[in-house]
Amino acid sequence: MTSSARLTGKIALVTGAASGLGEAISRRFAAEGARVIIADIDETAGKAVAASLGSTARFVRLDVTDENSWLGVFQDLKAQEGRLDVLVNNAGITTMGSIESLSVAGFKNMLEIDLVGVFIGCKHVAALMRPKGGSIINMSSMCGIRAQADLAGYNAAKAGVTLLTKSVALHYARQRDGIRCNSIHPGAIHTPILEKVMAQVEDPKALLASFEAGHPIGRLGRPEEIAAIALYLASDESAFATGGEFVVDGGSSL
């Protein structure tokens, strides 16, 4: 990975930054000169990621489903950092299940983390981004564009993120305050979430093979390949992009 300091002077908060894509995005942002706030419910792993990045990063405990948790973190950021330039709403879970097999409780839990969590972040972050403006990056999925029978709840949550992003983008664009909002749509990427999904099925090898076969490019993605598009959206190079669906999925949604 090469660094060209594309985020020098920017302050970024990444949710779900203790693992997987959030960790990779945080590492890339730090390498590009940003100050990075590592936000997660997993304190042990989150603190370890922050410590490995040195003084450019710090950990905050954030439960994205809890509005008071968000308000506490944003109050702390206002006091200690003064503002926020980039918010990556990345925290999420995947529970397998079709419309018949997924429980109502499982469906609601996934919506709370994957969709309501994004809503609360988008709602309150403007106070920290004004008057300078900023970039909100919402982690959707190719599953937010294309349905799969055994991902009924995940499809619903991620499709919700896709259109919520556009509503947020329109609202802030009309305010003329420089706040942009875009969504990223990864295909299957090798992260711990994939291991958790495979642990939910009878034949994990067959599931992995089906994931690979579903990507015309012939392989799964790497976290760094998603961090690269997040970097573009966080940087001023994407100043004219808002409400966009940034698909990085090896062709799987085609």
Ligand X SMILES: NC(=O)c1ccc[n+]([C@@H]2O[C@H](COP(=O)([O-])OP(=O)(O)OC[C@H]3O[C@@H](n4cnc5c(N)ncnc54)[C@H](O)[C@@H]3O)[C@@H](O)[C@H]2O)c1
**Which are the catalytic amino acids?**
154
- Give Cβ neighbours of residue 49 (< 8 Å, ≥ 6 apart): 17, 18, 23, 26, 27, 38, 57, 59
Per-residue binding letters, 98-117, with ligand X (x by CB under 6 A): ---------------x----
Per-residue binding letters, 51-70, with ligand X (x by CB under 6 A): -----------xxxx-----
The reply on whether position 26 binds ligand X by CB under 6 A is no
Alpha helix ranges (H) inside 8-103:
20-31, 43-53, 67-80
The reply on whether position 20 binds ligand X by CB under 6 A is yes
The reply on whether position 139 binds ligand X by CB under 6 A is yes
The reply on whether position 118 binds ligand X by CB under 6 A is no
In this structure, which long-range contacts are made by residues 57-64, counting pairs with CB atoms below 8 Å and at least 24 apart in sequence? 57/26, 57/30, 60/13, 62/15, 62/91, 64/15, 64/16, 64/89, 64/91, 64/113, 64/117, 64/118, 64/120, 64/121
Nearer to ligand X, 41 or 128 (CB): 41
User: Of 165, 183, 191, 252, which one interacts with ligand X (CB under 6 A)?
Assistant: 191
The reply on whether position 186 binds ligand X by CB under 6 A is yes
Exposed/middle/buried for residue 205 (C-beta within 10 Å: 0-12, 13-18, 19+):
exposed
In the complex, minimum distance from the CB of residue 51 to ligand X, in angstroms, rounded to a whole number = 15
Nearer to ligand X, 42 or 81 (CB): 42
The reply on whether position 19 binds ligand X by CB under 6 A is yes
Size of the site for ligand X (CB under 6 A): 29
The reply on whether position 42 binds ligand X by CB under 6 A is yes
Please check whether residue 187 is in contact with residue 253, taking contact to mean a CB–CB distance below 8 angstroms. yes
In the complex, minimum distance from the CB of residue 113 to ligand X, in angstroms, rounded to a whole number = 5
Strands across the sheet containing 35-40: 57-61, 35-40, 11-15, 86-89, 134-139, 179-186, 245-248
Amino acid at 247: V
What length is written for the chain?
254
The reply on whether position 192 binds ligand X by CB under 6 A is yes
Site for ligand X in 147-176 (CB under 6 A): none
Residues that bind ligand X (CB under 6 A): 15-16, 18-22, 40-42, 62-65, 90-94, 113, 139, 141, 186, 188-189, 191-194
